[in-house]
Structure 1
Amino acid sequence: MYLRRQILTKALQLHQRHLSQAAAAILHPESPGVGSYTYLDDLPRPDPKYDEIILAIPRTSSGKSIAAKERKAGRVPSIVFEQEDGQHGGNKRLISVRTNQIRKLVNHLGRSFFLSRIFDLEVRAEFESEEVVEKVRVLPRLLHLHASTDAPLNVTFVRAPSHALLKVNVPLVFRGEDVCPGLRKGSSLNTIKRTVKYLCPADIVPPYIDVDLSELDVGQKLVMGDLKVHPALKLLQSKDEPVCKIMGARASDQQKKSK
């Protein structure tokens, strides 16, 4: 029975890998091969200034008391998951990372930008040890911060090999406010979305998406389908969902101003 379960599990893993690679080929069929994606010159790419290896040590058990001890010792209880689509459990490793390192990265990048960036993660026997247990590329999936202090409480990572397809909430960066026709007329920007969810090949996860406001007039809006991204990214929300709108003054407000 045990051997049969092992065989079925292996068959399922191979099937999931095949589906993942097939999906990647569909997303970008002209690509010479899965995992060969590169960032395009006119689109945002990760700033090498924040390239950093996240150091971790193995953790043998979990639970509230263990997590409390880890935090007291200056460590963040964390976990690394893997599945071929990069989303769910499997190959779970319990780890702890340094609180100061995670706090620094989150402060420098911003929370949503931290969650849309690929990092190298190095699991060592001890933080100061030269013995590397595992070295892997990861995407932070979840980050819990303390409500009062913003101290990191726990982090969930997913492994991000080149063949992985990752669901990412990519942050939006709004540009062109200074020349936006609608804003120059005194209207206001109604920001409806701060992030947009895409299925991204692991090699080209965008750090953010530029939203160009430079041609928007009063009453005009941008929808998700208007966003300029790498053609291999698949939008996981409706392309007609609004991202932002230039809101004009209400008629009652204009009447007050004219009096």
Structure 2
Amino acid sequence: MAGKIPDLEVEARAGTGKGAARAARRNGMVPGIVYGGGQDPQPIQIPFNSLLKQLRAGRYMSTLQNMKIEGHDDVRVICRNVQRDLVKDLPTHIDFMRLNRTTKINLFIHVDVVGEDVSPGLKKGGTLTLVRPEVELMVTAGDIPDSITIDVSEAEVGDNITISSVKLPDGAKATIDRDFVIATLSAPSSLKSAGEDEDEDGEDGESAEVPTVDETTEE
């Protein structure tokens, strides 16, 4: 499960609209909004450099944070949208949603892999491919997992690891209602090539067999 909820210090933003947003950016801030939780939307702004560092660290959209605004009670939030400059790909606006511990929310959760060192399929030279490095789950805001784990310690070449083989955290549920594949363990490319060559040789070298016909007939 997720550890201590990190603090997110932001400032209340007095104005709204394009003019106020441009002014915030000129002052090295990224304008944003906090909504939900049965309260009115709250305009905010975050230091650009601080936000950019957190975004580059990864998994920002699936991290529950404790938002601190001077003069307001702390509130748990999660980022729901980051608007970016189309040319520079830098954040220009950010949206947060207020949560309580029991709020259900869809998040993409990172997939960890264990058992690679003892997997018989990998020892034979197989290749493990993560089809889904992240899996979308419906989780409870108070129990957001850092990751889910797939175990390949007994996986053979040709095996698929699906969501049904994963022990999900309490209260979590996959958003896709089918047993989808998370990872595959495929044969080594050398074995694939050898098999393909054998098939081609067999097709080219086969001589057409003439069926024998019994020409004697019973009278």
Report the TM-score when normalising by structure 2: 0.76
Instruction: Return closer, same or farther for 1:234/1:83 CA change in 2, 3 Å cut-off.
Output: farther
Q: Residues 102 and 229 from structure 1, CA distance in 2 versus in 1: closer, same or farther, beyond 3 angstroms?
A: same
1:228 alignment partner, SS class: coil
Partner Cα separation in structure 1 for residue 48 and residue 114 of structure 2: 33
Could you say which structure has the higher helix fraction?
A: 1
Matched ranges for 1:63-142 at <5 A: 63=18, 66-83=20-37, 91-108=40-57, 110=58, 113-124=59-70, 132-142=71-81
Seen in structure 2, the aligned counterparts of structure 1 residues 133 and 237 have a Cα distance that, compared at 3 Å, is same
Counterpart CA distance in 2 for 1:215 and 1:154 is 46
Partners of 1:231 and 1:123 in 2: CA distance: 32
Q: Which structure 2 residues correspond to residues 5-84 of structure 1 after superposition, within 5 A?
A: 45-48=1-4, 51-59=5-13, 60-63=15-18, 66-83=20-37
Answer yes or no: is the 8 Å Cα contact 1:116–1:169 preserved in 2. yes
Report % sequence identity.
Answer: 22
CA 150–209 in structure 1, closer or farther in 2 if over 3 Å, else same: farther
Q: State the Cα distance separating 1:146 from its structure 2 match.
A: 5.3
User: Which secondary structure state, in structure 2, belongs to the residue aligned with residue 210 of structure 1?
Assistant: strand
1:213 CA displacement: 2.2
CA offsets per residue over residues 192-236 of structure 1, 9 Å max, x none? 112222221111011221222222111111112222222311221
Match of 2:177 among 217, 235, 238: 238
1:135 Cα deviation after fit:
1.9
Which amino acid in the other structure matches residue 91 of structure 1?
Answer: D
Counterpart residue type for residue 8 of structure 2: I
Kept in 2, the 8 Å contact 1:141–1:158? The answer is yes
In the alignment, what sits opposite 2:193? 253
Q: Residue 6 of structure 2 contacts residue 64 of structure 2 at CA under 8 Å; is this kept in 1?
A: no
Tell me the distance in 1 between the aligned counterparts of 2:45 and 2:115: 41
> Is contact 1:196-1:237 (8 Å) kept?
no
Tell me the CA shift for residue 255 of structure 1. 4.8
Query: Given the two structures, how large is their TM-score scaled by the length of structure 1?
Result: 0.65
Aligned residue pairs, count: 196
- Gaps in structure 1 of 5+ consecutive residues: 1-44, 85-89, 125-131
Secondary structure (helix, strand or coil) at the match of 2:32 reads strand
Identify, as 1 or 2, the structure richer in strand.
2
> Whose Rg is larger?
2
1:227 paired with 2:166, answer yes
Instruction: Provide Cα deviations, 1:42-95, integer angstroms capped at 9, x if missing partner.
Output: xxx2244xx4321112232133x54444333221222212157xxxxx732221
Q: Please report how far the alpha carbon of residue 237 of structure 1 lies from its aligned counterpart in structure 2 after TM superposition.
A: 0.9
Deviation string 1:119-151 (CA, Å, 9 cap, x unpaired) is 100123xxxxxxx23421111222345577664
* Contact 2:67–2:75 (8 Å) recurs in 1: yes
Counterpart selection for 2:147 from 208, 216, 238: 208
